[in-house]
Structure 1
Amino acid sequence: MEIFLQADTWVALLTLTFLEVVLGIDNIIFISIASNKLPEHQQKKATRIGLLLAMVFRILLLLGVSYLIGMKDPIWNIELSWISAGITGQSLILIAGGIFLLYKSTSEIHHKVEGREEAASSDTPKKSSTMLNVITQIVLIDIVFSFDSVLTAVGMTNGIEGALTIMIIAVIVSILIMLAFATPISNFVNKHPTIQMLALSFLILIGFMLVTEGAHLSHTVIFGQSVGAIPKGYLYFAIAFSLGVEMLNMKIRGSGNSGKKS
């Protein structure tokens, strides 16, 4: 308890909690899109299960933080005429997670553009196994986001006394905050198709960023060019800018509809 008498502890805790919430928004968006395939009475349950699983995975990864840090050593080396890399455990997880996000996001966009989802929901009832499929997808994406979140937490609290305690508290508080706001965010995303498409586009960006970050950690060189890390600030700015433009579009559409009614 002595660590909570230090100002650095509270600064680190508040900052880390805020970052965990920001990083968790991507998780909420994916969970809301995945759970939208379920009957309405099961969607809240899937969302809560998904976020609770995210908390469990992050705490388990935090407890194994020393092992995560040790995953920087190359597992195997790739030496070809056009590419060279030293694949590490960290980079392997990030690349695999990024590829999964790219596949899932593009397949969801394909289904929505082709209109198969609407046809399936109107012509045939949803399968009873859908809940298991959705939870499986949520578990896989939780692992990806949890790993990225834990690496952020480790980097922020490095050298601070009681770092593990601070990280676990920050994760628990952030998940509780996300549980409180998950349903409104999920309802908003599901009620606005353009926001849902925008969210899927964000997941493509995040998937690409994870792949490049994994390649950067592997010191990958392609055709003599080193793969650099994409600054997350650029990504967050692009997401914020796109959301701002979409909010303006929604406001214009809303005012246009109200004008027609009058």
Structure 2
Amino acid sequence: MESILVLMQSPEAWIALITLIVMEVVLGIDNLIFISILTNKLPPEHRVSARRIGIGLALVMRLALLGTIAWIVKLTAPVFELFGHGFSWKDMILIAGGLFLVWKATKEIHHNVDPDDHNEDFIASSVNASFGAAIGQILLLDLVFSVDSIITAVGMTPHLPIMVVAVVVAVTVMLVAATPLANFIEKNPTIVMLALAFLLMIGTTLIAEGMGFHVPKGYVYAAMAFSALVEVLNMVSRNARLKNKPGNQSLH
């Protein structure tokens, strides 16, 4: 308790906390996009509960991982070497998560481009997707991002209470934003394709990171923000054209 009181009086601790919260929230955007697309395939009555349960279990998992920081930090140690690059468990987790995202995004893009093709994968990509499978996928992807973010957090601060508070705040933001974002994506079909393209890019970035090629996250999120801005402008333009059509103009 005394150590926590000391941290509360430290300006450096508050700066580290704010920085970690921002980092966790930004990294959570990837998760939210994936969760939104995934849960929108469930029956409407199950979507909100799937998001809450998935994100809630993800919080429990992250807090459990924080309790094993000493073990997680060791995941950066090389396990074997291939093509001159030493691969650690962290690298292999990032590569596996990246491949999963690329595969999932590609399947969903194919489904959106050719909706008449009813070939389905083992995680039930149809409207009647399994509730349990959706939760499992949310946890699987969150595990990948959690390991990466925790290792980054350890490099920013050695204080566990700061990491715990940052994770709880970030996940709370995810819980609040999950349903509005999912509803927005569902109401705007073009956003779905853009979101899937984001997932494809993020998956490719994870694979590159695992292979030893550092990709500055600022570039990735700047590209995502620019693409999102362009799409918002397109939406505004489409809505303006619809309102200006003769049949849609109000009679005075």
Question: What residue in structure 1 maps to residue 130 of structure 2?
Answer: 130
Hey, what does 2:142 align to over in structure 1?
Answer: 142
The alpha-carbon deviation at position 152 of structure 1 amounts to 2.6
**Residue type of the partner of 2:192?**
Q
In 2, the alpha carbon distance for the partners of 1:119 and 1:103 equals: 15
Question: Which among 191, 206, 213 is matched to residue 210 of structure 1?
Answer: 206
CA distances 1:60-119 after superposition (whole Å, capped 9, x unpaired): 2211111111122221223xxxx3332211111111111111111111111111114899
Match for 1:254 among 231, 236, 239?
239
Q: Tell me, yes or no, if the aligned pair for 1:50 and 1:142 is still in contact at 8 Å.
A: no
Amino acid at match of 1:235: V
Q: Which amino acid aligns with 2:165?
A: I
Contact 2:77 2:89 in 1 (8 A): yes
Distance 2:57 2:192 in 1: 23
Find the residue that maps to 2:71 and give its secondary structure: helix
The equivalent position to 2:37 in structure 1, one of 33, 47, 65, is 33
Query: Residue 224 of structure 2: SS of its match in structure 1?
Result: helix
- Residues 149 and 72 from structure 1, CA distance in 2 versus in 1: closer, same or farther, beyond 3 angstroms? closer
Q: How many residues align?
A: 238
Distance change (3 Å), C-alpha of 1:193 and 1:55: same
CA shift at 1:172, angstroms?
0.5
Q: Counterpart amino acid of 2:31? A: N
Match of 1:180 among 173, 176, 180: 176
Question: 2-side partners of 1:67 and 1:209: how far apart?
Answer: 25
What CA RMSD, in Å, does the superposition of the two structures yield over aligned residues?
A: 1.9
1:168-187 superposed Cα distances (whole Å, 9 cap, x missing partner): 01100111122112111111
| Higher alpha-carbon deviation: 111-120 or 19-28 | 111-120
Aligned match of 2:67 in 50, 55, 63? 63
Equivalent in the alignment of 1:92:
92
> What residue in structure 1 maps to residue 123 of structure 2?
none
Partner SS state of residue 182, structure 2 = helix
Aligned partner letter, 2:185: V
Unaligned runs of 5+ in 1: 217-227
Corresponding letter in the other structure for 1:175: V
**What is the TM-score with the length of structure 2 in the denominator?**
0.89
> 1 CA distance for matches of 2:58 and 2:193?
24
- Further displaced range: 52-61 or 182-191: 52-61
The runs of 5 or more residues in structure 2 that have no matched partner are 121-125
Query: Which of 176, 195, 200 is residue 199 of structure 1 equivalent to?
Result: 195
Are the equivalent residues in 1 in contact too, given 2:62–2:146 (CA < 8 A)?
yes
Distance 1:172 1:72, change over 3 A: same
For 1:239-250, list aligned pairs within 5 A. Answer: 239-250=224-235
Label 1:118 to 1:257 Cα distance change in 2 as closer, same or farther (>3 A).
farther
Q: Distance in 2 between matches of 1:103 and 1:230?
A: 20
Q: Which residue pairs with 1:14 in the alignment?
A: 18
Alignment pair present for 1:52 and 2:37: no
Match of 1:225 in 2: none
- The question of whether the paired residues in 2 share the 8 Å contact of 1:53 and 1:142 is answered with no
Structure 1 residues 117 and 172: CA distance shift in structure 2, 3 A: farther
Residue 240 of structure 1 aligns to which amino acid in structure 2?
A
Name the TM-score, length of structure 1 as normaliser: 0.86
Distance in 2 between residues matched to 1:13 and 1:117, nearest whole Å: 48
Identity level (%): 46
Match of 1:76 among 77, 80, 84: 80
**Structure 2 counterpart of 1:26, one-letter code:** D
